[in-house]
Structure 1
């Protein structure tokens, strides 16, 4: 039985008002929307790379460098195991995917084999040949390591891009060792490239008192040291002799920020360690007071201050020849963490704003043409009911855009295609209802009964059709990437809003009209 339900009327009205509320911010640009009153939502639909322009980067992760690094760690682990068990060895070294060592005493070979197999991690194959032990990474170990390296790289790149202030970037894996980065509206791609591409591995070492000049006169470096370049080519000290032992790494940092030193007035980067890092830093500075601490970033010395007193607070400053931008960039890198492997930019494409404007114009044109044609068809074919359906289509678009604004979705050209498709699907639901009402009228039922049964019997067909489409959209979202996901999002939201407007809103409007005017005849 058709009747006007007050609670249903209130819900529909509330949904429509909320839709308009979240739609309003989209009529302002990014600068203007920040100046709106606090009671107005600031959330907007973001435009994707193809609509507002920006940069597209294809990155390659050097997973081989990680395997090489793990091979070197394996050598240290192997040395420790053999020394612990007092097994003499020679020719200890790393290879591309593992390590190799020769056991001096043939009688100790079996003991060494057992000790090494128990000491190394799973996935490392240990074989013996005469008095030689060969350690190799298994195929599964290599696959797992490469996948983990790429996933970690994606997370670090994402943090760095987010810290740089880029809105709605697209960062995803492609193939086995590549990453796609799309930066909509980016104005300084070179700066973002430098932030993304730097490994940013921070290590703390002690400086050896031997100068580079003295080491060159002797013809060799002191044992356990290596030569490192100064990151600032204009500095007085061009090179340093640094002790190999890593006292502390940047993995223990919890915060870093660019600030101005109160004494020198120059820009520095203030850093803070976590609890374990602070404890270790205090121990290092206590045991090495008056020595110089070398702070290395990507194997270059960025600062080499003298430890004047123990630092027990777990924080400190990195000084250098920093500008405001370079200090901030270094802070961003330290907060985001270091990349597990070097990254190389394979491809870079720039989409100009003019191309984006053309895409927007083409999308708007398609939307307007489709919308107008649907409106005209429904008015001609179903008259008053068609006008009600047209109003529902308009509100459907309002609700769709407002929901996209609410989740701050990124709209791309495929997303616009999803909106256009949603208009057709919304009309399709109304057509099914109206045609069912016509059938009931032809069978001799009353107007109110025909409308009631028309909606009742059409609901099942509409739900089935939309549910199967929703399943397809969710599969596209789950297995697709980039623009495909954008299409799936707009289509999924459009399905929900179109069912609401077709089955709830139009029925309410038709019911109000029937109850108020009680027509003797309707034209369908």
Structure 2
């Protein structure tokens, strides 16, 4: 092959597997004519020569430009057993180890995002995933106010349930019969699910334990003392998670304790899920799922 044949000019757009050349700017890309050298570059992995291919199975060739050799991202990633994904909305390439799994992208709805809130949100998502047995997920921020979640498996929890679980605000409120707030998530220091008998009964069940702060404990004692003196349907407390009532226990006496127990028709999964939502704290940002993809 002659030097003339090796020099091939082209207008840059998408090159082989989504390789972009642009000026150093995050606001816009700039197209320009460049000349590259194709010199029959060979790629070896662990001593074995490989043929690089694009998403359609066509062979693609590395090239040299200004003394730097450029390799096709998809071709090399596939040869190394990695999954590669192109996001045209953010001009981003994602390379991950999992050949199978689930990718979720959550959009942050707030116009302005505080970095502390963003970090807290990411940590809450990680904590919620860990609580349902997903320990190896990658959760990170990407451009344009998005949070990307890469799960190296297909969760057993259905798509809608998983999205609702991960994005829930999880504001817990204890309300009196007039819907006045007795205490809320700010008065709670932790929560966990347990299995066993309650109040000395022989039957066992799953239940959720909520632990109050010292201030929460006092608020709860004051409220239960007042409510226990009421008659009929007024002597109850409503426990609400976001917009839904999850329990309405009757109050028969003042309760001086830093613990509250929620019972019901809990399964192991539902008890773990509720405890994780309460324990992880209130989600500071509003999230909306804009992508849910299962990679097989």
Per the TM superposition, whether the score is higher than 0.5 is: yes
Question: What is aligned with 1:322?
Answer: 266
TM-score normalised over the length of structure 2: 0.58
Matches within 5 A, 1:467-482: none
* Runs of 5+ unmatched residues, structure 1: 1-46, 65-142, 209-242, 353-524
1:335 and 2:274 equivalent?
no
Q: CA deviation at 1:266?
A: 4.1
CA contact (8 A) 1:253 1:273 kept: yes
1:193 and 2:163 equivalent?
yes
Measure the CA separation in 2 of the matches of 1:246 and 1:62: 27
Measure the CA separation in 2 of the matches of 1:334 and 1:182: 24
Question: What is aligned with 1:121?
Answer: none
Number of equivalent positions: 192
Aligned alpha-carbon RMSD (Å): 2.5
TM-score normalised over the length of structure 1: 0.34
Measure the CA separation in 1 of the matches of 2:219 and 2:172: 15
Matches within 5 A, 1:478-517: none
Question: What is aligned with 2:87?
Answer: none
Q: Which has the higher helix share?
A: 1
- In structure 2, the CA distance between the partners of 1:52 and 1:273, relative to structure 1 (3 Å rule), is farther
Question: What is aligned with 2:136?
Answer: 168
CA contact (8 A) 2:132 2:269 kept: no
SS of 2:282's equivalent in the other structure is coil
Larger radius of gyration between Structure 1 and Structure 2? 1
Q: CA deviation at 1:246?
A: 1.6
Question: What is aligned with 2:41?
Answer: none
CA contact (8 A) 2:221 2:256 kept: yes
Matches within 5 A, 1:94-243: 143=112, 146-188=114-156, 190=158, 192-208=162-178, 243=179
1:53 and 2:100 equivalent?
yes
Measure the CA separation in 2 of the matches of 1:334 and 1:173: 24
Q: CA deviation at 1:59?
A: 0.4
Question: Structure 1, residues 157-213: CA drift from partner, whole Å, max 9, x if none?
Answer: 1211122222222111122431011111344253543421222111111124xxxxx
Question: What is aligned with 1:457?
Answer: none
1:252 and 2:181 equivalent?
no
Measure the CA separation in 1 of the matches of 2:204 and 2:157: 30
Q: Which has the higher strand share?
A: 2
* Runs of 5+ unmatched residues, structure 2: 1-81, 84-95, 230-234
Measure the CA separation in 1 of the matches of 2:167 and 2:119: 15
Question: What is aligned with 2:232?
Answer: none
Measure the CA separation in 1 of the matches of 2:237 and 2:98: 50
Measure the CA separation in 1 of the matches of 2:108 and 2:224: 36
